[in-house]
Structure 1
């Protein structure tokens, strides 16, 4: 890559200057495979960067004109993305594979400051790789009994769907398989105008109003903000409990079709809202709360599913607290389905409108998908359940990963992820809540009927 590579317009807001991390946990029985791992991944990264040169680049900002925000681009940097190798066997700060497996791979044991090349929010004191603006990076962590392979991607460059596609291509390259011309063409597509223009379609005012940052009111001198301590925790949903949950949701569904993801998202939103309602300073039951559900916009815009860019958007559902906690599970799951079903969803229009807003807004920093989210009561949830991570072996000779998790990072209250579905059918929820709310969720009878606390 000799010239700067453009980012998607949706990747331009500076709040996306973060990394998305995935940790794939492999069991190691033969030290010969362990010793070869770094060489296999180094070769694979080099081969992949030869076909996708932007992957070895770094993010830079171009100085704006007065009143404008920065413009971010990818520029040449290295011959391959950074690869960090860290020896953690015998290190008391690192888990063993046995302790991880016995505890079902809790987020608490997978600290980004130890096992990731970059922190989620770059620029911190931890993180092992050079230059906190790389597009993509990998870290191999050798632990007793296993390897923790942490792969990170810059969120301005790609969303989780794009990251999974790059990981799939890396796994192929590590196995010595060539990339098809179609795979290379899609990955190297110019991103300047990938989203169709809005044209004469009316702007969805309510949707866009949720994505514009409003000035924060100043706190009067001497007045303190009541800020609860937030913590991350994980909960497991087995295939059996997910089947029971979907069956329960179907019994009260108001649409002809709902997915397991719809039912699980409905359960999580209801349960978290109910738990938060029980806190000492809970809001009025008539107060409205919002669910922001991350959505891959590709299929709504005719963009190939293999596209590696940042094309993610959000749909929002807002209801009074009392209505959420009392609504039949199936009715809520049905409302969630209508918001994303291609036959009824407005996501294509929403995403085109968001792109148009960003194109005409000089200061991209005032646009954020979480702009209207109130962390203490609202929820932003991303489902990675459909991400096919368990088929990736990266040519390491270790077989598929035994677990895939997001490492623990800085607490962000009201943020949650559904982890990639395990071959057993298990889905794990990672969520960040205030300590009081987390304790209430753990005691919630309806939630506990389906969920098992991991830690």
Structure 2
């Protein structure tokens, strides 16, 4: 039987994402034998790949051709098999010890993950769309499942949909009882159809588009002359504390802010305070807060359909800004401080509002990418290395703790991401909604000295 080859070109919104991998570690307490777990996970992953065959593929770079810009595409064939889950052996730590320490990111060595978080696509061989690995804890009381998808193929929201689909295959004994992803159109067709429903009368020039969207830039970031040691660590805020701030804000805001908005304002404020200890001149500058926004429902609610979810990238960036001095004073006690926190919440909510990031916004971003001669010539519009701006991605509403992997594993008890060394990035981890004692976990990536100062802030739960 002849081999059939398939190609799916990635969309403008895929191309704008940084190369590398989106990854999560799911930790399951279990007494089931490791080989049994590995076999069950592999069999169910095989079924997932039958429904989403491009997960078996690789992401390739294609050079510019006559009339076409360089791009990326996923390639796979009818003879490809689903990715093999790599057995990574055993951690040197016990599950009980790591849980006591809240499973620090650094406790999971880099070699437990199949791929590095940041990786360049090699010419000719490409990079796998999906990889996974499994390891044991030293006491045999739990396993860790590391899953990664290429960021140019899948965003965090699509990543969560794939994990949920995998969990349903693990839990259900009959393949026929599991709702199938429709996937009736490839990602380009679905995106084009959604955009065409709201077609614009006039296409702005590239200069006009960049003028409308300061979250993007044509200029590469200025590299620092000195490289400081950076690290990442999980810090926690109790929901009781966040709810207390929300109650106080009722007197200053006409519309109650979301938990996510308040949390992001508090994180922004605490991190700017820590940075000011090292660099007092920051108080005379403006700080910007870019945040990732899921555009699916902003463009077409069908893209968020549970039976046919859009798995490709649909991430846009909001951009809030405020004097750094005011940001640092948010929520520090007293009326003026609460009023500044209300201002920060208002600015963040406005930057992320459906009126600001709508179908027209998404079309603009697609047109920027289409009009560029090289998709790699677009850069973030905020400062990456100056310790002035802060980028936040929230996974709080990705219900990974609700994914039930069936007998032997059940629901994950911890969700973690790969350890990274960076300055000015925050990822709010999925919420574990367990009632009155709930804590919001945030991965803070900062210069090591700034992080040590940050940990002294009164915002955090005493550990």
- CA deviation map 1:287-333 (0-9, x unaligned): 11210111001111014212111111110012221232245212211
Contact 1:296 1:313 in 2 (8 A): yes
The residue aligned with 1:19 is 21
Residue 100 of structure 1 contacts residue 106 of structure 1 at CA under 8 Å; is this kept in 2? Answer: yes
- Name the counterpart of 1:110: 108
Give the C-alpha shift of residue 70 in structure 1.
Answer: 3.2
Q: Which residue of 2 aligns with 1:285?
A: 283
Say which of 329, 340, 351 aligns to 2:341.
329
Query: Matched residues in 2 for 1:69 and 1:179: separation?
Result: 42
CA-CA distance at 1:79 after TM superposition: 1.5
In the other structure, the counterpart of 2:334 is none
**Pairs within 5 Å for 1:32-43:** 32=33, 34-43=34-43
Flag the 1:179–1:382 CA change in 2: closer, same or farther, 3 A.
farther
1:264 aligned onto 2:263: yes
CA distance in 1 between partners of 2:382 and 2:67 (Å):
20
Alignment of 1:127-206 (within 5 A): 133-143=127-137, 144=139, 145-175=141-171, 176-178=173-175, 183-186=180-183, 189-192=186-189, 194=191, 196=195, 199-200=200-201, 205-206=210-211
Asked if the contact 2:390–2:425 (Cα under 8 Å) also holds between the matched residues in 1, the reply is yes
- The CA distance in 2 between the partners of 1:207 and 1:108, in whole Å, is 40
Contact 1:191 1:309 in 2 (8 A): no
Secondary structure, counterpart of 2:115 in structure 1: coil
How far is the alpha carbon of 1:273 from its aligned partner? 1.0
Contact 2:51 2:180 in 1 (8 A): no
Corresponding position of 1:211: 216
In structure 2, relative to structure 1, the CA distance for the partners of 1:118 and 1:51 (3 Å cut) is same
Structure 1 unpaired stretches of 5+? 125-130
TM-score, scaled to structure 2: 0.84
Tell me whether 1:7 sits opposite 2:10 in the alignment. yes
2:427 paired with 1:417? yes
Q: Shift of residue 371 of structure 1? A: 5.6
Distance 1:150 1:315 in 2: 30
CA shift at 1:178, angstroms? 3.7
Are residues 430 and 215 of structure 1, via their aligned partners in 2, closer, same or farther at CA, if it must alter by over 3 Å?
A: closer
Task: Using structure 1 for the length normalisation, give the TM-score.
Answer: 0.86
Q: C-alpha separation between the residues in 1 aligned to 2:36 and 2:163?
A: 19
Contact 1:246 1:263 in 2 (8 A): yes
**Which of residues 379, 382, 395 in structure 1 aligns to 2:393?**
382
Matched, 1:432 2:432: no
* Counterpart residue number, 2:275: 276
The equivalent residue for 1:86 is 88
SS at match of 1:357: helix
Q: Is the CA contact 1:82–1:136 (under 8 Å) kept in the aligned structure 2? A: no
User: What is the Cα deviation at residue 405 of structure 1?
Assistant: 1.2
Contact 2:403 2:411 in 1 (8 A): yes
Compare 176-185 and 428-437 and name the one that shifted more: 176-185
- Residue 401 of structure 1 corresponds to 412
Distance in structure 1 (CA, Å) of the matches to 2:54 and 2:374: 26
Superposed CA RMSD in Å reads 2.7
SS at match of 1:163: helix
